[in-house]
Chain A
């Protein structure tokens, strides 16, 4: 008799509020049906609420101080060179690495590139520069080619044309679902994780199309979520009743009012001194810099000994952190406070990677999208995007009887534990 299986469906960037809304309105009937037999809660994403950090916590069950991922990027130790996170640098095992006795199909989890050895099959999610390195086993790339698989929509092409955006979103989703179904039939598995990332892309580009019913692309927005719902229905329909379903998002989404450039702010306040060569990126940081930001909202002190032109002595750190905290809390736009919360790293992180952790992490108030562009000088800038991340992620577990396994206020770090507990039942 087949053992119980676990299906994990990730909907990147889908807020709890939207899921409830669309399920209630009949746009997502499969989700509604699942909600009728399960427990749905809001879930706290990682801090900061970016996909690389959140998904890393989701798949490891660990705090960023333990898995070592604090954003999509980090400076290479001892330098100002900005490197992109890759899966080999994850410092805690993903659940499929922690228990290789089970078999897995992992599709499109962000920040899992390059694909590493797995008992089963995996294809990495965003950011994946080379599809050939995003697949394990490598020979399975032929299946990806057969279905016309792509890791992601081409964001540069799609930002210019909503028509192209919707076409790419549906093409990519269909190919991803088709691949998943083929692997479902081909590869023996115990846990299958399938992540939709088009939901996040759509949210960034056209959140306004969701909020405004008179928006030109409103119906298209809803249609895409219907397509997502169909995919969920198909996958759920292939399971047996006793199989587990976990559905979740890594963060939520809300309307973007204005972009706020933290490095521009730090530069204007004299904390960040830059040279004349923007081509050098963070290598353009001059001696005398006291603090700089990494995307989206991480603040690092330019510590002596840690960075090539580090000039902040340990004895000065506390004063500078206090000054910065006051600066950020005092930042206003159009009379509104920009920053909701300034966290010190010790407040939110723990683990062996604390040395790599940002000294401060900022949580913005509603509508403010924080970034750390070095090449821009304006602190506030209107955006071509209409959606930004927020803390309104969700977690769903099938079976009302499993409600006791789901904390009242779950966080992304709880997911692995919940999955293990479910499998133990």
Chain B
């Protein structure tokens, strides 16, 4: 392990630990017991637990800290449960496979399911991953050979509850990472069949999972991939809090005031895919309330990038990179457009401000969340971003790096096929990850985009990018039309004035701390490149 050791979760206790089996409450004043694990406990009672990993302790109160417990080992991401059993739904995907390798390399016992739907849906678009990816069989073999990581995999559709349940009983997960959803806004807007498919897969899949967790592994934490897009971009400029209003939030109306502290913040999804994420949020919130399940709802910003140390260790370990209209995220598509000599496309003014996070930083966030489980009954939200950018700003960064790699490019504004404001205020609170989980972003857009060019300009990948060029431009309109949006403007980067809004990101840290970590990583990378 390199880097500074992180002790953000040292003082967490058995109360957070998935190995602690909640057995009930004892009321010594009344000499009584209640073994209804799911009951809201009265204040004057003792909680009774048994540790699945340390049965010799018998029944005890959940007060041993991670620091004191020999089952929790210190890593650079915090204390991590030794041989933690993590189940990844959607393990074959862009994020799922990357996380599986990261966790395996950290010593977790990783298992995963996938139905390879992503591969099929990308083919449906007539596209493919521009980074060649191995079959799951080859991936598993390579993971073992190269990283010494053994992953238990089963081909299962999460909608097949009996099969999923049987696998969960077999692996007894202590954490479940749910990446097993259809992650595309444009895909969900193609037509009724696609919208229904997205919502059915995502919402019903998650709902079924919650029932399975209740019955099979109620102490496991659910780390669920949500999206920052759940919140929309309120034109009032109201900050996007982390899912729940803070204690000092107040509603005023007609001279009266109410505290909003602890209530779910409004959601304003921007596609039927985003609606499915909002539905998930409510289902998970309720399940935590009814059944004392525990969950982090990860409102992830737009993901981009290709690099972690694990996926870069061998070509067979590479994770997929989609650049088509449905599954390609904006920065990934920009890089490929530059390589193809296409103008980088922004919608409308390109002033949409979004949260972004590079693959490597996203994986670090997930590890930190997994290593610091929520409490029983806790539904918590993290806004997972490492920076806020206007789409056009990112286009300009891509264009800068592209120039350095010998791919000069332009930017073009297209009619916006989506229903969204392309000029709006944007203020995001993302304090939980830095303050509670010790996260500091290490990857700037420039760093990751540079890594992307280094990888994607390899000749065999350029060939693949050329083959999918036809699938990159948007044709899916939110209105239902299917046509390429008209070009409104083409220009050289940094030649158009920016709009009036500037994003504000609250991390709870001094700005310099946040930036310094990223800069240190950048300097390190450049030094290594020069050696």
**Which A residues lie at the B interface, using CB under 8 A?**
12-13, 50-51, 72-73, 76, 79-84, 86, 88-89, 126-130, 151-159, 197, 200-201, 204-205, 259, 277, 279-284, 295-296, 369, 371, 373, 375-376, 383, 385
Contact = CB atoms under 8 A, between A and B. Distances in A.
B502 interface: no
A280 B63 contact: yes
Contacts of B33: 126-129, 151-152, 154-155
A204 B29 contact: yes
B59 A129 contact: yes
B58 A83 contact: yes
Interface stretch (B36-44, B82-90, B182-190): B36-44
Contacts of B44: 373, 376
A157 B34 contact: yes
Interface string B1-41: 00000000001010100000001111111111111100101
B48 interface: yes
Interface residues of B, number: 36
- Which of B30, B50, B61 neighbours the largest number of chain A CB atoms within 10 Å of its CB? B30
B30 A155 contact: yes
Contacts of A201: 30-32
B48 A281 contact: no
Given A80-B63, A84-B58, A156-B36, A126 B31 contact: yes
B42 A84 contact: no
A385 B65 contact: no
B63 A279 contact: yes
Contacts of A371: 28-29
Interface string B77-107: 0000000000000000000000000000000
B15 A279 contact: yes
B63 A156 contact: no
What 3 pairs between A and B have smallest CB-CB spacing?
A155-B32, A281-B63, A156-B34
A129 B35 contact: yes
Contacts of A51: 31
Contacts of B59: 83-84, 86, 127, 129
Contacts of A80: 63
6 contacts: A72-B26, A129-B59, A156-B32, A282-B61, A282-B63, A284-B63
A408 B15 CA distance: 50
- Which of A13, A280, A283 neighbours the largest number of chain B CB atoms within 10 Å of its CB? A280
B22 to A, nearest CB: 10
B477 interface: no
A83 B26 CA distance: 12
A281 B27 CA distance: 15
B26 A127 contact: yes
A129 B23 contact: yes
B64 interface: yes
Nearest to A13: B31
Interface of B: 11, 13, 15, 23-36, 39, 41-46, 48, 50, 57-65, 68
B28 A279 contact: no
A244 B35 CA distance: 36
Contact of B58 (A89, A151, A279, A369): A89
Contact of A73 (B23, B29, B46): B46
B57 A153 contact: no
Contact of A76 (B25, B26, B46, B60): B60
Nearest to A150: B35
Contact of A159 (B26, B42, B57): B42
A12 B32 CA distance: 12
Contacts of A277: 11
Nearest to A389: B31
A279 B43 CA distance: 12
Contacts of A88: 58
A81 B64 contact: yes
Given A73-B46, A159-B30, A259-B29, 5 more contacts: A79-B68, A129-B35, A155-B33, A159-B42, A283-B13
Nearest to B30: A204
Nearest to A204: B30
Contact of B63 (A50, A81, A89, A204): A81
B109 to A, nearest CB: 26
A153 B32 contact: yes
Contacts of B26: 72, 84, 127
Contacts of B36: 154, 156-157
B60 A84 contact: yes
Nearest to B43: A375
A81 B32 contact: no
Given A156-B34, A159-B30, A369-B29, A86 B63 contact: no
A88 B57 CA distance: 11
Contacts of B57: 76, 81, 83
Nearest to A296: B28
B11 to A, nearest CB: 7
Contacts of A12: 31
- Which of B29, B43, B45, B60 neighbours the largest number of chain A CB atoms within 10 Å of its CB? B29
A130 B50 CA distance: 11
- Which of A129, A153, A154 neighbours the largest number of chain B CB atoms within 10 Å of its CB? A129
Contacts of B60: 76, 81-84
A127 B27 contact: no
A356 B30 CA distance: 25
A375 B61 CA distance: 13
Contacts of A76: 57, 60
A281 B29 CA distance: 17
Contact of B28 (A72, A159, A205, A375): A72
A159 B31 CA distance: 12
A385 B32 CA distance: 12
A205 B30 CA distance: 7
Contacts of B68: 79, 283
B34 A155 contact: yes
B11 A385 contact: no
A72 B60 CA distance: 11
B61 A82 contact: yes
Contacts of B39: 156-157
A266 to B, nearest CB: 18
Nearest to A283: B63
Contact of B46 (A82, A156, A158, A197): A82
A88 B46 CA distance: 21
Contacts of A126: 31-33
A158 B64 CA distance: 31
Nearest to A381: B44
A12 B36 CA distance: 23
Nearest to A127: B33
Nearest to A131: B35
A177 B383 CA distance: 58
A186 B157 CA distance: 51
A400 to B, nearest CB: 33
A154 B25 CA distance: 10
- Which of A72, A82, A296 neighbours the largest number of chain B CB atoms within 10 Å of its CB? A82
A375 B29 CA distance: 14
Contacts of B61: 73, 81-83, 281-282
Contacts of A205: 30
A76 B60 CA distance: 9
A295 B260 CA distance: 39
A159 B65 CA distance: 32
Contacts of B65: 280, 283
B374 to A, nearest CB: 13
A154 B28 contact: no
Given A155-B34, A280-B13, A84 B48 contact: yes
Contacts of B13: 279-280, 283
Nearest to A89: B58
Contacts of A204: 29-32
